Structure 1
Amino acid sequence: MPDADRPQELPARLLTDPEMIDACRARDFARVFRLVKTRAGIYPSMIARRCDLTPSRVGEVIAGRRQLLHMDVVERIADGLRIPGHMLGLTRRAWETPQALATTERALPQTPGQGPGQQNAMSLPGADVDSILVLATRTSLNTATLAAFRSSIEDYWRRDDQHGGEALRPAIVGQLRYVVGLLKEIRSPSIQSGLYGIAAELARLTGWTYFDARQYDQARLYFTEALQLAKEIDDRQFMANVLACMSLQGTYQDKPADSLALVAAAQDQARSALDTTPRVLSMLSMREAFAHATLGNRESTHRAMKEAHRRFEQIRTSDPDPSWVTYFDETKLIVDTGIAHGRLGEAATAEPLIADALRREAHTNQRGRAFHSFWLARTQLDQGKLDQACHTATQALEPASAVASERVTSHLREFYDQLAPHRKEPVALAFEARLRELLPPVSGPLHP
């Protein structure tokens, strides 16, 4: 069926209208067709075309002279008019679940074959020629060059928050390999140390983009490379940071014991460094709380959260915080505390903390707002607050659709699964309608 002829999603207000719900439950298609016509602007001729019925048959149904009882016809009506299956006593239809919610950890992309754009690509110099040209035109590095590298890394992180890192990854990896190539030449100790630090940050950022895309094996490889680069210059704070990232990944992979071991190693590295700041120690204590919460260790989780807050209170404006930890501000401390309570099942304690953090959070951080909103919705649903939970989750859909993040999608999926017992409620139907609008379902014809 051409896209122009494919039905739009029925309005949420129609799908949640008690009259429509009752008509569908009774399979009273005379009423269903009349409501679809008056409330959605889909006229009988269009109903016939979308449901693979004859116009005269639709007219007879609306006039009450004919009933539609065969299951295959009922299924065609559900698919043609986009009426959720359970409303008509059917199993869930394939189009009801957005494609994004059916994904799992993704395999690495395969090398593409020759495509339409290959001819243009062939007119560009190869990677080996690029490398030769770089060698021929390289200028001596100085502190301004290092500052430019660091500025680009900060820009990558900012764009990652706004849009996700997948589209940025080729540029980040390219810059990483360029900087690693620079390390092969002998330079002054300060410049060489700065290059190692920049390469470590680029490797961690690359690992993070793979982690956010749920490509965990690749993430671990780059995190390991970041550790090795930081070890070359004995940057123990940064090594602690990378280990903390790997610990967080462990919680997503359902490997809480690994997560706890990694964050313990991170804390050991941080304590062995003379310049570790309270902000870094506070962040690490919160990662420890996540690991304990995933294991269900209530007392240990609370103790780690208390330590995180104690360390945070020791922060002074004069502290020489590394740039990579400045994101861990009061808002982040509050929301992470709420999430740790949520992981323990302490929804009533978690909800006001996450809600408070969301009010404070920058609107430019699309991923953070989506991520934290789904956590808030889950804590509300845990307390039986169905209307609030669906409202919160609906608000989260717009930032979720604006950022490419499989990690955010996994949290949406968890809320979606948690909503299963309530799917027939009007507020849940409205949420699903908005979900399908912003995150389209599997494409393709509605029926053969």
Structure 2
Amino acid sequence: MPAPERPCELPTALLHDPEMAHACRIRDFAAIFYLVRRRAGIYPSRIAALCGMTPSRVGEIMSGRRKLAHIDVIERVADGLRIPGAMLGLAHRPWEIPSRAMVTEPELSSVARTGQEEEADRGGMKGLDDILSLVNEDRVTRPMLTAIQSSIEDYWRRDDQHGGAALRPAVVGQLRHVQRLIVSTTDGGLKRSLQSLAAELARLAGWAYFDARRYSTARSYFSQALLLAKDIGDQQFTANVLSCMSLLATYEGGAGEAAALACAAQDTARDTAPSALVMSMLHMREAFALASLRDAAACYKAIDKAHQNFERAADEGPAPQWVRYFDETKLVVDTGIALAQLGEPHKAEPLIAEGLRRENATQQRGRAFHAFWLATTQLQQGALDQACDTAGLALELATSVESPRVTGHVREFHARLHPYARETSVIAFEAKMREALS
């Protein structure tokens, strides 16, 4: 038997054709090969080479003189012609879902391992900072602090647009630089400002690792940020870090811990001013956790408090910079996500759809997440074709960001489609996945 040649994709239109779908469903390989020749221009000799068969055998199959019954040969046909396994009644073939969509969390087991990964982010140049410190005697100035703050704001913009994966080495390096400056600075006011910047950088590093699904490392940086914020007595930023840890706990399946962290954050920020917008965001974090716990009454109560505080925020002074992302659009879409997590897709769908309509086009990662949530609510309501179309939009958005969290949502949504694997819209979505993520 000749070795199969390199497979090639069939035209998407052919895979969606009802005649092809029917032929695959009943495993009529004479009709399949005929359609492949007529619609894809792949002649019998090429079919034979792709599927590891002889041309004469392919000719016998096409003439109806021979049938295919052995599962290993049917699998070779599926793999050689790139026919999705579900169309032929097979399990998903290994090539159908690219490796990027099968991300697993490379969980880190200890603080010592975290240090190794941080060293890798620095490019393995152990001792370089100590060497440079001998020749670079940085004098901390207010313009220097302003420049670092500007860098942090730029990091957040880039994280929102492109994901945090590529930012981690730069953010960790900036954090270590600021930590060295803290040690060498004697001016109390400048030292406090540096500690505040270090807290922001540590939270940003934690967020970047969280987006990369490096949850243990993310927790380590969030803990650093928490200690720094407490050292300088910044209660609102302490609450902010606790809210990040709450979201991380929700992703890790610790909904009870997530709810407790969100409540601790509220207690920390409650008596600060201005606090309404901060409290609105924190109540929504609590709602996420309560939705995961399926506590509907408490979840609705948290959502109501989030909306009440948001209305009060308009009468207060400017909120901290880090919480201003939580605008009305974010409130609307997060309310929809909480209801979706609660298992109420009919209420969630219009809210998430409205949020997507309002969102800034530059917020690629957020829009990708929200599109997958919208697709999930549509699927839960039985609108399979609409759900797959929406998920296709999410895939387009996901290709512009480097975010394993987004890829994780791709995987989760795809897993929900398994009961419908033979449906045309699902096959079309999987084709888009292969094109987008391979």
- Please indicate, yes or no, whether the TM-score normalized by the shorter chain is above 0.5: yes
Deviation for aligned residue 1:139:
3.7
In the other structure, the counterpart of 2:299 is 301
Q: Does 1:99 align with 2:121?
A: no
Q: Cα gap change, 1:129/1:298 in structure 2, threshold over 3 Å: closer, same or farther?
A: closer
- Pairing 1:78-157 to 2, within 5 Å after superposition: 78-107=78-107, 126-157=125-156
More displaced, 227-236 or 18-27?
18-27
User: For residue 161 of structure 1, what is the amino acid of its counterpart?
Assistant: D
In the other structure, the counterpart of 1:182 is 181
Question: What is the DSSP-based 3-state SS (H/G/I as helix, E as strand, rest coil) of the residue aligned with 1:42?
Answer: coil
- CA distance in structure 1 between the partners assigned to 2:103 and 2:138 by the alignment: 46
Deviation for aligned residue 1:133:
2.8
- CA distance in structure 1 between the partners assigned to 2:362 and 2:36 by the alignment: 39
In the other structure, the counterpart of 1:323 is 321
In the other structure, the counterpart of 1:354 is 352
Does structure 1 conserve the Cα–Cα contact (< 8 Å) formed by 2:392 and 2:429?
A: yes
Q: Which runs of 5+ in 1 are unaligned?
A: 113-120, 441-448
- CA distance in structure 1 between the partners assigned to 2:189 and 2:44 by the alignment: 77
Deviation for aligned residue 1:129:
4.3
Q: Which runs of 5+ in 2 are unaligned?
A: 118-122
Does structure 1 conserve the Cα–Cα contact (< 8 Å) formed by 2:7 and 2:79?
A: no
In the other structure, the counterpart of 1:417 is 415
Does structure 1 conserve the Cα–Cα contact (< 8 Å) formed by 2:250 and 2:258?
A: yes
- Pairing 1:255-274 to 2, within 5 Å after superposition: 255-273=254-272
Does structure 2 conserve the Cα–Cα contact (< 8 Å) formed by 1:237 and 1:276?
A: no
Deviation for aligned residue 1:71:
2.5
- CA distance in structure 2 between the partners assigned to 1:16 and 1:382 by the alignment: 23
Does structure 2 conserve the Cα–Cα contact (< 8 Å) formed by 1:373 and 1:393?
A: yes
- CA distance in structure 2 between the partners assigned to 1:313 and 1:299 by the alignment: 22
Deviation for aligned residue 1:38:
2.2
- CA distance in structure 2 between the partners assigned to 1:23 and 1:377 by the alignment: 30
Aligned length: 425
TM-score where L is the length of structure 2: 0.92
* Larger RCO, structure (CA 8 Å, separation 6 or more): 1
Question: What is the DSSP-based 3-state SS (H/G/I as helix, E as strand, rest coil) of the residue aligned with 2:46?
Answer: helix
In the other structure, the counterpart of 2:367 is 369
- CA distance in structure 2 between the partners assigned to 1:393 and 1:298 by the alignment: 27
Q: 1:234-258: per-residue Cα shift (whole Å, max 9, x none)?
A: 0010000000000011111111110
TM-score where L is the length of structure 1: 0.90
- CA distance in structure 1 between the partners assigned to 2:337 and 2:105 by the alignment: 23
In the other structure, the counterpart of 1:443 is none
- CA distance in structure 1 between the partners assigned to 2:142 and 2:277 by the alignment: 26
Question: What is the DSSP-based 3-state SS (H/G/I as helix, E as strand, rest coil) of the residue aligned with 1:94?
Answer: coil
Deviation for aligned residue 1:130:
4.4
- CA distance in structure 2 between the partners assigned to 1:46 and 1:311 by the alignment: 67
Q: 1:391-425: per-residue Cα shift (whole Å, max 9, x none)?
A: 00011112222222222222222211211211111
Q: Does 1:36 align with 2:17?
A: no
- CA distance in structure 1 between the partners assigned to 2:231 and 2:55 by the alignment: 76
- CA distance in structure 1 between the partners assigned to 2:366 and 2:211 by the alignment: 12
- CA distance in structure 2 between the partners assigned to 1:127 and 1:419 by the alignment: 47
Q: Cα gap change, 1:5/1:152 in structure 2, threshold over 3 Å: closer, same or farther?
A: farther
- CA distance in structure 2 between the partners assigned to 1:136 and 1:425 by the alignment: 66
Percent identical: 56
- CA distance in structure 2 between the partners assigned to 1:318 and 1:132 by the alignment: 49
- Pairing 1:59-74 to 2, within 5 Å after superposition: 59-74=59-74
- Pairing 1:177-256 to 2, within 5 Å after superposition: 177-256=176-255
User: For residue 11 of structure 1, what is the amino acid of its counterpart?
Assistant: P
Q: 2:381 aligns with which of 374, 380, 383?
A: 383
